[in-house]
Amino acid sequence: MSRIRFRVEHCAIVVLAAGMSSRLGKPKQLLVYHGKSLLKHSVDAALQTTMRPVIVVLGANSGAVKKELEGMGTVVVENEEWQEGMASSLRCGLDAVRKGSTDIDGIIFMVCDQPYVTKSLLDSLLLAQHETGLPIVASSYDGKEGTPALFHKSFFAKLKELEGDTGARKLIQKNEGKVTTVVFPKGVIDIDTITDYEVLLK
């Protein structure tokens, strides 16, 4: 039996940047790397693609973080339930995409503390989707799958059901047969603590 092939024609990108950075003690979104903030690195990579809209979900410290995005051409939304955790930001980003456009049939979710995400990585997620016809494309690193990750609209309802501090990884794990991956070795590098940041700067 041939399986259904999915195809994402109009892909949005949602940058999740609502966290408190409690383990770091200051907003990770604003940490500077190679002359610009981690948030700007992420948003620049997204804006270099042809995928639109690029939506940034803010939450904790949104006043300070929002200033980083002035004039960049992103859609900024505030997640008032950010304290719930990652799932609330996924839902908030998804709602913003649906509100702004009816023809979006895929979304790449990315976080703001993976400094090595590039335009070519994001493009390769969409390309892998087109080549395989699978509804989920995840980045693979350190023996697991994670962000950035692309979801076809057939998974939007399931993304809406996520709760608490559960990110998209739970959906990826539950649907192994519907997932393809793009290798992203440097995806393992994210910034949760001052030590992580110091290692990155070296």
pLDDT digits (tens, 9 = 90+) for 57-74: 999 989 989 999 999 999
Whole-angstrom Cα distance, residue 24 to residue 7? 39
> Residue 1: is its pLDDT beyond 80?
no
Whole-angstrom Cα distance, residue 82 to residue 87? 9
Spatial strand order in the sheet of 179-183: 75-78, 54-58, 11-17, 106-111, 144-152, 136-141, 179-183
Q: What whole-number percentage of the chain has pLDDT above 90?
A: 81
Residue 16: give its domain's CATH number.
3.90.550.10
How many folded domains does the chain comprise? 1
- The chain-wide mean pLDDT, for the chain, equals 94
The model's pTM is: 0.96
- Domain extent, residue 126, equals 11-201
Please indicate, yes or no, if residue 1 is contained in any of the structural domains. no
Residue pair 74/67 in contact by the 8 Å Cβ criterion: no
